[in-house]
Amino acid sequence: MRRVESKLRVRYAESDQMGVVYYANYFVWMEVGRVDYCRDLGFEYRDMEADDGIFLAVTDAHCRYRGAARFNDEIRVVTWVSESRSRTIRFSYEIRHADDDQLLATGETLHTVCDRDGKTVRLPEKYRSFFPLTNSA
C-alpha cells in the first residue's frame, strides 16, 4: 500500500494562546496530505477538477487526537488510500511529530466522486489505475 509523507511546520495562526494547535487544523493538514498523495501518484488534484470535472466531495471525516502539536513543531502527515470503490475513496492519515515520531492524531476522510453538478458518478477510467478498487466493506 502506497503511503505518501508531507512535512509541515505549525504556524502561529494554527495555534491558540497557549501555543497548542486548534483541533480543526488537523483536517486542513489531511487535505495537504491528499493533494500531495495525488501529486505523488502523477496528477494534480486541481487538474482533476478543472480539466475533467471530477470532484472528491468529503462525505465523512474523523480524527482521533492522541497528542498535542504546538506552534513551530515540525509535523509529518502520512496519507494512504485505505478503500477505493467505483464511487467512493477513503483516505487514511497519521499525523506525527517529525523529530520523535510521536503519534499526534489518526484520521479518515471518505470522498464521494461527483461531477460539476454535484451528482455522484463513477470514477473515470483515467483515474482508476491511481485508486485501484478494494474489497473493503
Catalytic residues: 16
Nearest to 54 by CA among 125, 134, 136: 125
Q: Three cell numbers at 79? A: 496519507
Q: Three cell numbers at 60? A: 465523512
Q: Taking the CB of residue 44, how many other CB atoms lie within 10 A of it?
A: 13
Are 91 and 100 a contacting pair, CB within 8 Å?
A: no
